Chains A and B, each alone.
Chain A
Amino acid sequence: MEYSYAFLILLLPFLSFLVLGLCGMKMKKPVAGLIGTIMLGSLFAMSLYTAYEYFFVIGRDAATGLYPTVTVFNFTWLKFTELLTFNIGFRLTPISVMMLIVITTVSFMVHIYSFGYMAERDDKYKFEEYEHGFQRFYAYLSLFTMSMLGLVVATNIFQMYMFWELVGVCSYLLIGFYYPKHSAVHASKKAFIVTRFADLFFLIGILFFSYYVGTFNYDMNANPELIGKLASVAAKYSWLLPSALFLMFIGGAGKSAMFPLHIWLPDAMEGPTPVSALIHAATMVVAGVYQVASLFPIWVQYAPNQLHWVAYIAAFTSFYAAAVACCQSDIKRGLAFSTISQIAYMLVALGVSYAVDNHEGGLGYMAGMFHLFTHAMFKALLFLCSGAIIVIIGSNFKQYMGGLHKYMPITNICFLIGCIAISGVWPLAGFFSKDEIVSACFEFSPFMGWFMTLVSGMTAFYMFRLYYVIFWGQSYYELDPENRKKPGEVPFVMWGPLVFLAIISIFAGWIPFGHFVSATGQSMEIGLQHFEFTSVAWFSLLAAAIGIGLATWMYLPKNNPVPDMLAKKMPRLHKAALNRFYIDDAWQFFTHKIVFGCFSKPIAWFDRHVIDGTFNFMAWGAQEAGETIRPWQSGDVRSYAAWFLTGTIALTLILLCILS
């Protein structure tokens, strides 16, 4: 059978999680790392082979001209009723195959990179020892990879939800990897609670959907009977599908860090940087995008207006995150906001679609998926570069950097490639995917198009700002070379993955993505790849050029007074942006003052006084009763006998009275 090895794609990482998790402490650290990496390497190979087989060997179905939806296996895990079962399966569609490649590529690179990152080094950056918890780290990475793969190959929405929660758990465990650090513990709790809160809506959406439609399946290609069911449900309850889908989207918004549920992602940067690259840039955070894309046919057909709400929310998020990213001094947080902004781009692309068509109204689907693919590569690259810088500098803050281009040439070039790619400059990856998104936006409405062009200009600005403050400008080391550590280049295990991802970031834009993934499934051409530049492309190139130029003017020269002057001119705006426009504080207020104060406190009072009071009273009563009758047990045999006699006589008399 075709894809008969597919079950290994889920089983291998799970086994390696078990082995590393249970016996990790018995192993030498490099052995544990090698087990995880070799497993991931074989997964990478298998995913590539699956993609090759899916797209090129088996290819399109002769009858329909589409890539078929292949359900490799699908067994019943739990039977709710005769008709409603919870299945675990493995399903290949063009986007799930693409996700397999994204996940395994980034995960493999992160596995290799972590050998360098998760190590203690001496003053000369010579390797000393692997960090404490090295085995645990690789065990979590395996578990995460398993869960993420299970999520993308889900045959039904409930399986997706289950793995969705699993990736949430892995994210929690990995953010809190340095658990002795207070901030890491807080960040992991925050991430878990915020995403869990959002997932509650996802679950409610699933319950609505499955209760009325009577199935967890969502793929109309794999389950043709779903088409009729959906149509009858939509005819009977017009409110149902839009609200169920939107509730599910709220879950996706939590995972994909959409405003106002984005607050956990910047804090999640407390985790080790490879984790940020894998989970909080490339894979887990796009789960929300993947979810919307998986349900895309249902969205477009039954809830097009709500889909546009998604677009508006995402457009606002992308602008907001880009604005905040412009003045972050922690480089990882800057990248985190950039991630939020870029994920919002993908959701905008999906949200502006209004038809299942490759060009009119459905371009966004292809564009969003293309951007997901390219973004995963260059954002993982940027995060891994920032990890390399953090290893060398020992801090996340830009004031300790500056002028690193002399000391870290490879990282410098890789970071620059990542910046150019994300800014959308021809011919790197980001240009193609982002311009497709902007064209889709222009098809939807000119305002949306211009808005997203503006955001892409801001993207270029904040990315190059970050690049200049790290690699150019005044060097922190050179201010006091006697007492400060001299920066140096990272070892090969770290720059190897950087170079690999940089090469992908350069060339990924030339992949004829429309041939593989599109709204209808039919092959389509991306005009830009054939040098058919539209005005949209020129405008966004112009926006990128302005952004880059502005950043160069402001941040390239040493000690340029312009940024400080601007900050002084608009102190309130600058302060608000630094504080992320007080959204975290708003949530803090909401949870602490309103939820805790108005709901939790009365409930806690009721629990403490009424519920606990009842039981305390019962315990107190029993104790008092015991104290009262305890002296009766005097130990004096004669008094027992006297009482016994008295009682007998009394009983006899009573009986006599009754009987006579």
Chain B
Amino acid sequence: MNIPVEYFIALSTLLFFIGVFGFVTRRNLVAMLISIELILNSVDINFAVFNRILFPAQFEGFFFTLFSIGVSAAETAVALAIIINVYRNYHSDQVNSIENMKF
């Protein structure tokens, strides 16, 4: 059976905007990190789908998806480390508690 391509795109778009919405609205740093992961995953879906539909004989899209998953894993590790340090220093996991960087 063939799932129409629009379904995939609708899913990834939905995931992307859920991620963006979460990133903008949530204040908890971990929740923001999760939102970013959602955005990344929506992109990964797009890579895989378009590879499958447009260039079925090739694998670049799949490899790039794997690559991006690896990168996001590393990025998550770094981000979590930063979040833990922020928590240690500010005793808070809220993003608006870190305001030292403004003017």
Contact = CB atoms under 8 A, between A and B. Distances in A.
Interface string A613-633: 000000000000000001101
Nearest to A630: B103
A637 interface: yes
Contact of A645 (B24, B100, B103): B24
Looking at chain A's contact residues, is the secondary structure mostly helix, strand, loop, or mixed? Answer: helix
Interface in B1-59: 20, 23-25, 27, 32
A642 B95 CA distance: 14
Contacts of A634: 99, 102
Interface of B: 20, 23-25, 27, 32, 95-96, 98-103
18 contacts: A630-B103, A631-B103, A633-B102, A634-B99, A635-B98, A635-B99, A635-B100, A635-B102, A636-B96, A638-B23, A638-B24, A638-B25, A638-B32, A641-B20, A641-B23, A641-B24, A642-B24, A645-B24
A641 B23 CA distance: 8
A631 B101 CA distance: 12
B94 to A, nearest CB: 11
A616 B13 CA distance: 53
Nearest to A645: B20
A635 B24 contact: no
Contacts of A630: 103
A629 to B, nearest CB: 10
A287 to B, nearest CB: 66
A633 B103 CA distance: 6
B96 to A, nearest CB: 6
B57 to A, nearest CB: 30
A637 B26 CA distance: 11
Given A633-B102, A633-B103, A637-B98, 5 more contacts: A634-B99, A635-B103, A636-B95, A638-B27, A638-B95
Contacts of B100: 635
A234 B44 CA distance: 95
Contacts of A642: 24
A382 B95 CA distance: 92
Smallest CB-CB A-B distances: 6 pairs: A635-B102, A635-B99, A635-B101, A633-B103, A630-B103, A642-B24
Contacts of A631: 103
A631 B20 CA distance: 24
Nearest to A629: B103
A645 B20 CA distance: 8
Contacts of B99: 634-636
Contacts of A633: 102-103
Contacts of A636: 95-96, 99, 102
Nearest to B35: A641
Nearest to A633: B103
A217 B89 CA distance: 83
A626 to B, nearest CB: 10
Contacts of B23: 638, 641
A637 B103 contact: no
A634 B95 CA distance: 12
Contacts of B98: 635, 637
A631 B102 CA distance: 8
Contacts of B24: 638, 641-642, 645
Nearest to B26: A638
A210 B99 CA distance: 73
B66 to A, nearest CB: 26
A636 B23 CA distance: 12
A636 B95 CA distance: 8
Contacts of B20: 641, 645
Contacts of A635: 98-103
Nearest to B20: A645
A642 B32 CA distance: 13
Contacts of A645: 20, 24
A642 B103 CA distance: 19
B100 to A, nearest CB: 7
A637 B95 contact: yes
Contacts of A637: 32, 95, 98
Most chain B CB neighbours (cut-off 10 Å) among A631, A633, A637, A642: A637
Contacts of B102: 633-636
A631 B103 CA distance: 7
